Structure 1
Amino acid sequence: MSILLYLKKLLLWGAGISTIVVPSSLLTLYHKDPSLFSFGQSDQAAERHNVPFDLLDATAECKLETEERLGDVLLRSRVDWHSSRFQKDRNIYVVSLQADIGDIHRFEEANVYCYINPRTEQVSYFNAYDSEGKSYVSRAISFDSVLKAFSRD
């Protein structure tokens, strides 16, 4: 008889511990990643919660690429919202920036163009042009070359 009483106590203790451990473990998992518990959601409902890549994201990518490519000669850049757009037929974002290149005392305005692929969310084309339409990217861009361009007066 004592064995049955011992097994009963053991089962009660196991059930009591399980009622504490299992819910707290599930709450911890839910807190860490709630999507693990989205059993009844359809794929469409789950997609609605994802934020799509848009023109603002594309302009941010273009600005980062511009900073990377032009480096120290880039003073500032601003988005040309009249020329930046999504081209549906080509499935790309075309972003146009106006940039100041040079130093704080002598700088030149440049036009920067980026094509951003919305699927990869990366720049697929980049070029910057001076006021005469000459490409900065095709020539080596350095602070010295920009200063030399200004001193040709």
Structure 2
Amino acid sequence: MALVNYADHLQTWWSDHHSKFDPRNYSRTHLIITGSIVSVILCLFWASLFLDIEHSGKYYDAQRNYKILPFDLLDATSICEQKTQKRYGDKMISSYIDNHSTYFDRSTYLYKVFMFARVGELRDSEEVVVHCFVNPSEYMVEHYRAFEPKKGSLMNRAVGSLGG
């Protein structure tokens, strides 16, 4: 008996709340939700194309047998050069590794790569110092920082170019 009363109550509640159902509002709401989801997916796709986001295994090569040919300093320097090239694109003229400073730090288990990159136009370029720390067990860059020379104010550069 109680179950029948509950079913009647549920049916009454359902008809009260859904009798005002308007398919036009439903389709508008449906479009808003679908549009929002598509927008989020497109934003994430765009971010993955243009942002250099680090994640574990980013530089892992599935074709390579790391037991036979382990990850080494050459791999770390290559990764840092790739990351620097991606950051500066066509503005990067050249780069080189500072072999005296680059090393494997046993305490942090990171390859610490220090390099220089020449960035700008061929006749007007500047040297950028790059610190790039690569985690060989995660196949990813743990830390990346490029130190660009500070530029003087526009007035100082104008005066400097006049020879003053």
TM-score grouping bracket, smaller chain normalisation? 0.5 to 0.7
Is 1:71 aligned with 2:89? Answer: yes
1:114 aligns with 2:132: yes
Aligned equivalent of 2:104: 86
Q: What does 1:127-146 align with in structure 2 at a 5 Å threshold?
A: 127-131=145-149
Cα-to-partner distance string for 1:86-114 (whole Å, 9 max, x where unaligned): 00000000001111011101001111110
- Selected match of 1:126 from 144, 150, 159: 144
Please point out which of 68, 77, 86 is paired with 1:50. 68
Offset of residue 125 of structure 1: 1.2
1:123 alignment partner, SS class: strand
Counterpart residue type for residue 136 of structure 2: P
Q: Secondary structure at the match of 1:52?
A: coil
Hey, what's the Cα distance between the residues in 2 that align with 1:93 and 1:48? 16
Per the TM alignment, residue 130 of structure 1 is displaced from its structure 2 partner at its CA by 2.5
User: Gaps spanning 5+ residues in structure 2: where?
Assistant: 1-64
Q: Which runs of 5+ in 1 are unaligned?
A: 1-46, 135-147
Cα RMSD for the two superposed structures: 2.4
| Deviation, structure 1 residue 71 | 1.5
Instruction: Give per-residue Cα distances to partners, 1:54-85, cap 9 Å, x unaligned.
Output: 11110000000001112222111001001110
For 1:101, what is the secondary structure of its paired residue? strand
Q: Report the counterpart of residue 60 of structure 1 in structure 2.
A: 78
Residue 65 of structure 1 contacts residue 123 of structure 1 at CA under 8 Å; is this kept in 2?
no
Tell me whether 1:96 sits opposite 2:111 in the alignment.
no
Percent identity of paired positions between Structure 1 and Structure 2: 34
Matches of 1:72 and 1:98, distance apart in 2: 16
* Contact 1:83-1:96 at 8 Å conserved across structures: yes
Equivalent pairs, count: 92
Question: 1:54 and 1:69, CA in 2 relative to 1: closer, same or farther beyond 3 A?
Answer: same
In the other structure, the counterpart of 1:31 is: none
Superposed structure 1 runs of 4+ greater than 4 Å apart: none
